[in-house]
Structure 1
Amino acid sequence: MRRVAKLSAACIATAALALSATACGSTSSENDKSSGSSGDGKGVKIGLAFDVGGRGDRSFNDSAARGADKAKAEFGGSVKELTAKTTDTEADREQRLSDLADAGYSPIIGVGYAYAQSMGKVAKKYPKTSFGIVDSVVDAPNVDSITFTEEQGSYLAGVAAALKTKKTHVGFIGGVDVPLIKKFEAGFVQGVKDTNSKIKVDTQYLSHGSDTSGFASPDKGKEAAQGMLDNGADVIYSAAGSSGNGAIEAVNGKKGAWAIGVDSDQYNIPGLAKYKGSILTSVIKNVDLGVYDVIKSVHDGKPQTGNSVYSLAKDGVSLSTSGGFIDDIQGKLDAAKKKIVDGSIKVKTTP
C-alpha cells in the first residue's frame, strides 16, 4: 500500500526551501484530544499536530484524521491530537511537536506545510522517534514527507469548470498565498484555459504571508465567493480549508452556480449536506492515505522515510463523482487525466 515515488536529495532540498513559508501550530492549542487506550505495547501511539481548523474542518484536517482513525482501528493504540492557532509562532509549533515526542508518541505527524521548520529541528532532537509531515519536505532520516500533485487534480477541476460554466466566467479562492496553494491555482487556471481560452478566471486569496486566517474563516470565504458571483462567475473552486465552507454556502444561494470542493469529497460531508446540490465535484487529496501509510510503516517496524509522492497516477489526487453532476463530461475528464498521466500534458505548479 506504499504507492509512492522517491525524489532525489537535490529535489528534496529545493522543495523544502520552496515550501518552508509560514503558518500554523501552537502550544496552547485550540483542541487537545486523546482517544483510545494509553497503549498496551501492541498498538501505535499516534501524535497528530493539526493545521488551523483541526478535526472538523470538513476538508484538509479531516482527511488526515480519517487516516489516523483507520490506523487506530486496525492496529490499536492511541491518538493524541493538538490543533494550531492562527496566532502561532515557530516556537509554538516546535513546542507542540516536542511535547508529543516527550510523551512517547511515534509517529508524530505534522498536518500542514507550516510544520516544516519546526519538524526539522525536533526530528534531530528525537532521532528514535518517527515523524511525518504533510505538504512539505523535511530532509531528515526519521521523517516521511507526504506530498501530493495538487496541481494535477486541480487541472481536472479546471476542465470541469470550463465545461460547466454557462457564463464563460469562473473563480478560484485560495486560503493563503503560499507556494502550496499556488499549485492549486496554477493547475485550475491551466485546465480552464486549455479547455476554453476565452473563459475569464477571477482569483482571490483570503490572507497573506504568515497570516493563516484564510484557512479558517468561513465568513471570508463566503464574502469572496459572493463577490465573484456578483461579478458574473458561476463556477467557484476554493482551496482554503474550512474557509471554503463559506464559499460553498454562498454558491448554494445562487441559482445555476456551482462550487468545487477540495481535499475531502465535500458532497458527502454531513455538515455540508444542505449545500450538496451545488457541489459540482471535489478535488480529493488523499491525505488519509499518506497518514495511514506512515502509521502502518511504523507499526510494521519499517518506518517510511524520504519523500512519498502521491500523484494522480497513484490515486493520490482525484475528482469526486458524487451527485452525478459530472457524469455527462466524464469522458472528457478521463481523456485529460490520461494525458496528464502519460505526460502529454505537463501541469504547471506556479501561476
Structure 2
Amino acid sequence: MTSMSKILGAAATLALSAGAALAEPGLIIDLGGKFDKSFNESAYTGAQRWVEETGGDYVETELQSEAQREQTMRRMAERGANPVVVLGFANASTLEKVAPDYPDTNFVIIDEQVDQPNVKSIKFAEHEGSYLAGMMAAIASETGTVSFVGGMDVPLIRKFACGYAQGAKAVNEDIEVIQNMTGTTPAAWNDPVKGGELTRSQISQGSDVVYAAAGGTGVGVLQAAADEGIYAIGVDSNQNYMHPETMLTSMVKRVDNAVYDAFEAAEAGTLETGLEVLDLESEGVALAMDENNEDLVTEEMRTAIDEAKQQIIAGEIEVHDYTETDSCPVEM
C-alpha cells in the first residue's frame, strides 16, 4: 500500500521488534495542496524520495481548512505516526498546544519555531537567498524597476521581500522595488488570478522582473510574466521549467531535504529536537541554475552572485532579517 492510497483514518502499521514499536512518519500538507508547484510540493517530493530510496512508507493528509489543524495533528499522533511533520508557520500556535499532550511523539515543524521538548523546528534563511535573487533582478532589469508579489501578508513573506530589495539596491541604489501582497487570509496562498492581476499592474508601473513568494498564487504571477514577456523569479521549488524563456531563476528552499532528513533521522533514532536554521552555507537556500535558465543567466550575474554568496557566508555582507525587527532598512 502506498502513501497515496493510505487512508488517514486507518491505524498506522506497527512493526513490533524486541518490544519496541517502529512507527511510520506522518506528513501534514498545508493549505494549497501538495501540487502547488512550490512549498508544499517540495515537502511532498522529499517524502516521496524517502519512500523510493528506503522502501518505507508514511501517513499523509492534506489540510482543507484552518479548522482542521488541531484535529489533524491529534489524529496523526493518536494513530501512531512518529514523527509528525507539519508544514508552515500557521501551524505553530496549534502545535504549541498539541505537542505537550503527546510527549512520546516527536513533531517537526517547518518554517517556524516551537519551543517544546518533543519538537524539532526547521527554519530557513530566506532573506539570504532572496538577496541573491534581488541582485540578479537588478542586473537583468532594463527599466530600473523590479517587483515582488507575496502571498499572505505576514512577517515571513516580508522577510523574502526585504532580502530581495536589499540585493537589488546593492546592485543599483536607485532601483525602484514595487511590493504587493495578495491578501491577509490563507486564501492568499491559492489565488493565481489575483497573482496575475498584481503582476500586470506592476508591469504597468515599469517592472520588468518580478519575484513571487506566494505559494499557488505564484503560478499566476509566473504566467503573467511569461505572457507579458518579462522575467520572473520562482520560489521554494525549482520553478524554472514552467516558463523556460522568462524564468530568470528560482530561490529554492530545500524543504524537500528537510522532510527527507527528518524521516531518515527518525528511522535511525537520531532525530534531535530544538531549532535548526538552513542557510546559504548549508545550501538550505539557493538560486536554481539549470538547462531551463542557462541562456538567461549572464556571466556578470554568475560572478556577482558567487561573490555575494561567499561574502554573506563569511559575514562580510549582513542581510537584514525582517522578522527580527518587523522592519526593512531599505525603501520599498
TM-score if structure 2 supplies the norm length? 0.89
Read off the aligned partner of 1:213 and give its amino acid letter.
Answer: A
1:150/1:184 contact within 8 Å kept: yes
Task: State the alpha-carbon separation in 1 of the partners of residues 268 and 115 from structure 2.
Answer: 22
Q: Tell me which of 40, 60, 70 is aligned to 2:49.
A: 70
Q: Deviations over 1:274-322 (max 9, x none)?
A: x221110000100111111111111001222100110101100000112
Read off the aligned partner of 2:100 and give its amino acid letter.
Answer: K
Q: Residue in 2 aligned with 1:51? A: 30
| 1:248-327 aligned within 5 A | 248-255=222-229, 257-268=230-241, 272=242, 275-322=243-290, 323-324=293-294, 325-327=296-298
Q: Residue in 1 aligned with 2:163? A: 187
Task: State the alpha-carbon separation in 2 of the partners of residues 148 and 132 from structure 1.
Answer: 14
Task: State the alpha-carbon separation in 2 of the partners of residues 191 and 35 from structure 1.
Answer: 45
Q: Residue in 2 aligned with 1:114? A: 90
Per mean C-alpha deviation after superposition, the further-off stretch among 294-303 and 35-44 is 35-44
Query: Aligned Cα RMSD in Å?
Result: 1.9
2:14/2:23 contact within 8 Å kept: no
Q: Tell me which of 162, 181, 193 is aligned to 2:138.
A: 162
Read off the aligned partner of 1:233 and give its amino acid letter.
Answer: S
Task: State the alpha-carbon separation in 1 of the partners of residues 207 and 7 from structure 2.
Answer: 44
The aligned length equals 309
Secondary structure of the 2:221 match is helix
Report % sequence identity: 37
Read off the aligned partner of 1:141 and give its amino acid letter.
Answer: P
Q: Deviations over 1:89-138 (max 9, x none)?
A: 4xx31111001111111111111011111112211111111110010001
Q: Residue in 1 aligned with 2:307? A: 335
Task: State the alpha-carbon separation in 1 of the partners of residues 133 and 50 from structure 2.
Answer: 30
Q: Are 2:62 and 1:88 equivalent residues in the alignment?
A: no
Task: State the alpha-carbon separation in 1 of the partners of residues 54 and 61 from structure 2.
Answer: 21
Q: Residue in 2 aligned with 1:228? A: 202
Q: Residue in 2 aligned with 1:132? A: 108
1:294/1:304 contact within 8 Å kept: no
- Which 4+ stretches in 1 moved above 6 angstroms? none
Q: Deviations over 1:148-184 (max 9, x none)?
A: 0000000000000000001011000110111111110
TM-score if structure 1 supplies the norm length? 0.84
Read off the aligned partner of 2:236 and give its amino acid letter.
Answer: D
Q: Residue in 1 aligned with 2:151? A: 175
Uncovered stretches (5+) of structure 2, i.e. residues with no partner: 17-21, 323-327
Q: Residue in 2 aligned with 1:346? A: 318
